[in-house]
Amino acid sequence: MFNSLSDRLTATFKNLRGKGRLSEADVDATVREIRRALLDADVAVPVVREFASRVKERALGAEVSAALNPSQQIVKIVNEELVTILGGETRRLRLAKNPPTVIMLAGLQGAGKTTLAGKLSKWLKGQGHSPLLVACDLQRPNAVTQLQVVGQRAGVPVFAPHPGTTSEFDVPTGDPVAVAEAGVAEARQKLHDVVIVDTAGRLGVDAEMMDQARRIREAINPDEVLFVIDAMIGQDAVNTANAFHEGVDFTGVVLSKLDGDARGGAALSVASVTGKPVMFASTGEGVDDFELFHPDRMASRILDMGDILSLIEQAEQNWDKDEAARMAKKFADQEDFTFDDFLAQMQQIRKMGSMKKMLMMMPGAQNMRQQLEQFDEREIDRVEAMVRSMTPHERVAPKIINGSRRARIARGSGVHVSEVNGLLERFGQAQKMMKKMAQGGMPGMPGMSMGAGGGTARKAAKKNAGKKKARSGNPAKAAQELREAEARKANRAPSGAAFGQQAQDFDPSTMELPKGFEKFLGK
């Protein structure tokens, strides 16, 4: 969503690197580029003016002039101001003291409210709640049916006493206000602690539909009214948000279609103009593509600083702790890494979602965005198919996989034999690396043993301990050898040093890597 804006800001900050002092002209040029980048991203003009003014005022102040690295200080200022216009702090749902908590969804036609209702219910269910969806959109054809399908995918019950319309020629019947009231009563009777009311989409200028939304709000007295807005709407986001703010008086904003290819100005405009926080973001088409909106993390993504916290949270939610403990023990015991272990780890990663999305959360991901966009998620499926086409014995002893076995695995997984060969080669290299790391040393690195297990260098030192070089029978030559030994002893590193003479003499250009290691590293 913010790719264009991120690229422009990153390029702007590159021009400041290496400057020990920033002049007023440097600041003016930087702020001018930031202003252009925001306008190109469809951010509302009043928001851009206020943002640029604050950045310039702070950039010309003492916090930059007295900084050791002025360019980094400018980036820090822009990051903090981005967090401010995105809402400042993470805003969470306010739950009712006496359940159920009633959440009403409102928004434009086509903003994605019905799909988002299912995503929100699935997210709340994962938080330990028992939500109920209420179908109050009796205007749009098959809206009730869509909510029932989405609720089924999310594993959440749907209260739909009225079928609504089934075609654009049907005359809407039924009272959405009465359905909303009955839905809240149903939730209270069935002990659901959260009610999500899906209302009909409307236009900002549609007075009749706005009045209907207002009457639903008065009838059910919701704890939260969430305004669902399409993140790709652009400059019109401000006018739409103001119309709904006056008509329905929402308490928070939900951004839908944040995974689109638009410029994302809505996200940077709505919170600042309306004063209402962005609370959630929809990032895909699946029911799990939904997340709590963190202004500080979103600002870091825009500035290509990554979002490691969200990545860690995602891993904690999906990673099997027992499997992680088993792999840690296996690694500590220096057991061989097998294809069964490889398959288990790959399944763990798949639970976390799209590999492409996870990699885009890493710092500096914008620099390799083109490669990431070309990444084929189906490659993981092909690798898994090859592993599953192996027999149990082949998975634990891949060395027995000869030509005929490789041909059978290729046929069973629907790939070429060359792909099976590549997988086996990469897996063999990974096995060697993990074995070296388990032993406590990196391949080909003298004097770099680590851990209690000891590495190759430590084993060699232990093997040679106590061995003394035979002295020459010639007294003059023996004295020369003794002087040389004492000289070497004097030049040797202290016993507590991490590197000995071997490390001092180490020349990386002469280091020999294991066979195939250069290919594994992409050299």
> Which tokens go with 386?
């090859």
Pairing of strands 278-282, 290-292: antiparallel
Answer whether residue 351 shows pLDDT above 90. no
Q: What is the mean pLDDT of the chain?
A: 75
CA distance 201 to 105: 9
Q: What is the pLDDT of residues 452-474, one digit of tens each?
A: 334 444 444 444 444 445 555 56
243 neighbors 232 (Cβ within 8 angstroms): no
DSSP code at position 197: E
> Which tokens go with 300?
């870091």
157 neighbors 165 (Cβ within 8 angstroms): no
Q: Choose among 413, 407, 345, 339: nearest CA to 379.
A: 413
* Radius of gyration (C-alpha) of the chain in whole angstroms: 31
More confident residue, 459 or 273: 273
Q: Choose among 144, 146, 171: nearest CA to 160.
A: 144
Answer whether residue 220 shows pLDDT above 80. yes
Q: What is the pLDDT of residues 170-209, one digit of tens each?
A: 777 778 999 999 999 999 999 999 999 998 876 655 677 7
Is-above-0.75 flag for pTM?
no
Q: How confident is the model at residue 507 (pLDDT cuts 50, 70, 90)?
A: very low
Q: How confident is the model at residue 344 (pLDDT cuts 50, 70, 90)?
A: confident
Answer whether residue 508 shows pLDDT above 50. no
